[in-house]
Amino acid sequence: MNQATSFDTQSAAPIVDNRSRVAKPDHVPDDLVRDIDMYALDGIEAGYHEAWVGLHAQNMPKLVWTPLTGGHWIAMDGPMVREIYEDPSRFSSEVIFLPKEAGEKYLMVPTRMDPPEHTPYRKLLDTGLNLARIREVEDQVRQTAIDLIEEIAPRGHCDFSTDYAKIFPVKVFMAMAGLPMEDAPKLEHFAVGMTRPTGDTPEEMAACLDAANTGFFEYVEPIINARRGGTGTDLITIVVNGTIDGEPLPHDKAIGMISLLLLGGLDTVVNFLSFMMIYLARNPDKVAELQGNDLKLLRGVEELFRRFAVVSEARMVAKDQVFHGVELKHGDMILLPTVLHGLDANENACPMDIQWDRKGPKHTTFGGGPHRCVGMHLARMEATVTLQEWLKRIPTFRLADGANPIYRSGIIAAVEDVPFVWSVA
């Protein structure tokens, strides 16, 4: 492990950076090297999206290489993020989490498959989460939101993260999967271990991710066994009794698929909702534009997904190639911060502003290509229902005085400490 030392200009005290760095491979040019830590972004105190955009503003090349997190490339350009997502022949999903050592321990199905192997598994996931099926559960989802908001509204204050964002999508998902709500904290613990693993070295992070992966697998295995051959309509029963190319879904693949659904359904929407509502709490004029205009709200939800991307996964370079003038080697890893597409000023003018009427917001918040998020219909509905029902009951709200949300970066970005206040009639 290399240890870097720099100086704090205020106190002139040396700051020792204990993070592990790897040596730059020969094919990486010196002028493309930048010290960027996806798990501890510089400037994260001001906000996750602000931190990534701050890097963008530093006249970055489109592709840079960092010696941190095991050493990997980062696509800094919006269209490049999309291009890589959409081309599995050049950029494989064989490993998608960083550091690569940790990504190799990640066994969720079918995220690490490339087409054509991926295709039948993806079809099976679609049967449980397609738009028609999500519409069937809309009333139930709406009622879950209403119950929570009606409980919060008379108080005049809440912590949006703990009182709503960490409960609503989890309740919705646990009900769809036919799982008891009391299991949610355990699953949340595993999800955090996977998407923001702790450790100073790739090996330590791999151990954390491995433990979380095992936790998911041990949790789902008996549930899968109990639901094999069942006739229930919950998401797990639908998927485990599905077929792959006409054959029953193999047991090991069923464990990986159900674990992935739990991971996808739990951590993403939770954090997206908090990011979205912090912005609205700070921008009452934007909220006012939505009041009494449900059509604007329905159209504007996509703009919110553009503005508040939360996922940063990676792809593995599938073969030696020259990509946008840069030499890449088979096995190199490229991080794809989806935030950098929606917030690319060349793609969306004034990208930090929410413009409810923006025509066709361009983003990769749900990924792209064959692995594009299978849960996006559910995510969109959860965001829409939250906005509709919250604004009906709590039309004006703001961050409490002195509020200081805590932001975390990682495979899925997170935010906590989100105190809101409003007046109660």
Residues in contact with ligand HEM, counted by CB under 6 A, come to a total of 26
Report the residue from 213, 338, 348, 384 that binds ligand HEM according to the rule CB under 6 A.
Answer: 338
Q: Which stretch binds ligand HEM (CB under 6 A): 47-55, 76-84, 199-207, 306-314?
A: 306-314
* The amino acid at 372: R
Other Cβ atoms within 10 Å of 54 Cβ, number: 15
Residue 32 in contact with residue 61, Cβ under 8 Å?
A: yes
Instruction: Output the smallest distance, CB 122 to ligand HEM, in A.
Output: 5
Q: Side-chain half-sphere of 69: how many Cα atoms within 13 Å? A: 31
187 binds ligand HEM (CB under 6 A): no
Q: Which stretch binds ligand HEM (CB under 6 A): 143-151, 191-199, 245-253, 268-276?
A: 268-276
For residue 258, state whether it binds ligand HEM (rule: CB under 6 A): no
Residue 341 in contact with ligand HEM, rule: CB under 6 A? no
Is residue 311 a contact point for ligand HEM (CB under 6 A)? Answer: yes
Residue 411: closest CA among 188, 161, 165, 193: 193
Contact call for residue 270 and ligand HEM (CB under 6 A): no
268 binds ligand HEM (CB under 6 A): yes
Label residue 42 exposed, middle or buried (CB < 10 Å: 0-12, 13-18, 19+): exposed
Instruction: For the CB of residue 102, give the shortest distance to ligand HEM in the complex, in Å.
Output: 15
Does 74 bind ligand HEM (CB under 6 A)? Our answer is no
HSE of 406, CA atoms in CB hemisphere, 13 A: 5
Amino acid in the structure at residue 345: A
Give CA–CA dist 275/171, Å, rounded: 19
Binding to ligand HEM (CB under 6 A) within 125-144 occurs at 125
Residue positions counted in the chain: 425
Question: Which residue bears the tokens 């983003």?
Answer: 363
* Contact flag: residue 378 with ligand HEM (CB under 6 A): yes
Q: Does 122 engage in binding with ligand HEM (CB under 6 A)?
A: yes
- The DSSP output letter for 33 is B
Binding site for ligand HEM (CB under 6 A): 93, 96, 110-111, 122, 125, 260-261, 264-265, 268-269, 272, 310-311, 313, 338, 365-367, 371, 373-375, 378-379
